[in-house]
């Protein structure tokens, strides 16, 4: 397995500084000093989570095959299974990006969670990712051949690196990384289930997006504990 140096995803994060007025004490005619006050510790407000499942309804799409080319057929064969749209036996849709609307928040100190994009069997694994903007992206090549990774964002080329040598263009190999400037996002598992923990209570909009299927949204009321939210897709758009 060959691994490329981690790359920073496009950064969309910002920071803000604030200031407050000096506190007047009893000595200068203001309120008593903090040392003379008795304050009760303020507890953090209870949090909730959103849990649900993304399901496919209606006829299941026929499995698709993607033709390869001569440069990789000795390893991957003449075609590979299209892994961009994956359904389980009950219709659960994998790799759907799910998030809630939230204010931008700086990432915690340190590197944070590393997002890994691998190349296995002449396909990207996973084909759809969600990550913090400005965070690290680790590229791997688990195939016994060379691959070239070309990233495009907002219509412009971000980087184009070979692992480790240039090879023929593999046009069927496509992956999508959707970035966020807050931590309240996830992707659905192989069974279509997802969980968004650590949410403030109250009304919020939750969204589910897949590059082949589009986006659906719902308004939910987050309460202490678990709030349910399911999404359905009914065909390729």
Q: What is the pLDDT of residues 115-150, one digit of tens each?
A: 898 888 989 999 999 999 888 888 888 887 766 666
Q: Which helix H or strand E contains 8, and what residues bound it?
A: strand 7-8
Strand 176-180 relative to strand 128-132, pairing: parallel
pLDDT of 153 reads: 67
Of 152, 176, 148, nearest to 72 by C-alpha is 148
Q: What is the pLDDT of residues 27-76, one digit of tens each?
A: 444 444 444 445 555 555 668 999 999 999 999 998 899 999 888 888 89
More confident residue, 219 or 148: 219
Q: What is the pLDDT of residues 13-40, one digit of tens each?
A: 222 222 223 333 334 444 444 444 455 5
Cβ-contact 215, 209 below 8 angstroms: yes
pLDDT of 111 reads: 52
Mean pLDDT of the chain: 78
Question: Which region among 1-5, 67-71, 102-106 has the lowest average model confidence (pLDDT)?
Answer: 1-5
pLDDT of 114 reads: 86
pLDDT of 15 reads: 21
Q: Could you check whether the bond before residue 2 is cis, i.e. omega within 30 degrees of 0?
A: no
């Amino acid at each position: 397995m060959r691994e490329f140096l981690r790359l920073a995803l496009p950064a969309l994060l910002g920071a803000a500084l604030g200031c407050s007025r000096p506190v007047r004490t009893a000595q200068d005619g203001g309120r008593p000093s903090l040392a003379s006050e008795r304050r009760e510790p303020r507890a953090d407000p209870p949090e909730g989570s959103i849990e649900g499942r993304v399901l496919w309804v209606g006829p299941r799409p026929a499995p698709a095959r993607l033709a390869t080319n001569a440069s990789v057929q000795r390893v991957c064969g003449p075609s590979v299974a299209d892994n961009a749209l994956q359904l389980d036996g009950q219709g659960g849709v994998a790799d759907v990006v799910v998030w809630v609307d939230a204010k931008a928040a700086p990432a915690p100190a340190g590197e944070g969670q590393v997002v890994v994009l691998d190349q296995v069997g002449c396909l990207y694994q996973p084909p759809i990712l969600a990550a913090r903007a400005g965070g690290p992206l680790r590229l791997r090549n688990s195939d016994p051949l060379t691959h070239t990774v070309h990233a495009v964002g907002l219509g412009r080329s971000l980087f184009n690196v070979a692992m480790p040598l240039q090879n023929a263009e593999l046009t069927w190999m496509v992956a999508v990384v959707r970035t966020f400037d807050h931590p309240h996002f996830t992707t659905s598992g192989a069974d279509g289930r997802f969980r968004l923990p650590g949410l403030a209570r109250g009304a919020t909009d939750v969204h589910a997006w897949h590059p082949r299927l589009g986006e659906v949204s719902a308004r939910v009321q987050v309460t202490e504990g678990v709030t349910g939210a399911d999404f359905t897709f009914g065909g390729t758009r």
